[in-house]
Amino acid sequence: MKQNLFKFIHRGAIFGGFGPIIIGIVYIILSFTLDDFSVTGTEIFTAILSTYLLAFVHAGASVFNEIERWSVGRSVLCHFSVLYVAYSICYLINSWIPFDITVFLIFTGIFIVSYLIVWLTVYIIVKRTGRRLNDSLKKSK
């Protein structure tokens, strides 16, 4: 448990800086595409801090997939839950979605579908790669 917590924190610290970089790129794009785009210092600080934490959690949560004694279902559920909470808080704090139950349910639906698409894609690729490697090993014997 202690080792997994260390991995979570270590990975998060390494990749956490990508969040502020991404928000900076988004703000630059918005400033060029919207005529009346403006943000306050507080909004910028909140976005930088929350996207740092979001990237930190996102990178750290990959540790759930490496806990061998956990079932695939348990690790995916933990990974999903941690990301869902982090994204929800980040989006609400930054007012990227309004605090409205209907909008939040739409956000939740989109998040679930997106998560499933990404993980099904990863699962299929890993399965195919594993099958190819096994076939290669069988042929080489």
Q: DSSP state, 17? A: T
Q: Within a 10 A sphere around the Cβ of 82, how many other Cβ atoms?
A: 17
pTM score, whole prediction: 0.76
Alpha-carbon distance values, 37 to 45, 76, 78, 94 (Å): 16, 38, 37, 15
Across the chain, which has 141 residues, the per-10-residue mean pLDDT values are: 81 78 86 86 88 88 87 91 95 92 96 94 91 85 68
Contacts of 65 (CB under 8 A, 6+ apart): 75, 76, 79
The CA angle 14-59-118, to the nearest 5 degrees, is: 145
Q: Which residue has the tokens 């499933």?
A: 116
The answer to whether the CB of 86 falls within 8 A of the CB of 54 is yes
The answer to whether the CB of 22 falls within 8 A of the CB of 53 is no
- Distance, in Å, from the CA atom of 138 to the CA atom of 141, rounded to the nearest integer, reads 5
pLDDT of residue 139: 81
First to last CA, the chain: 39
pLDDT of residue 10: 81
Two structure tokens written together for 120:
């099904």
pLDDT of residue 113: 97
pLDDT of residue 5: 81
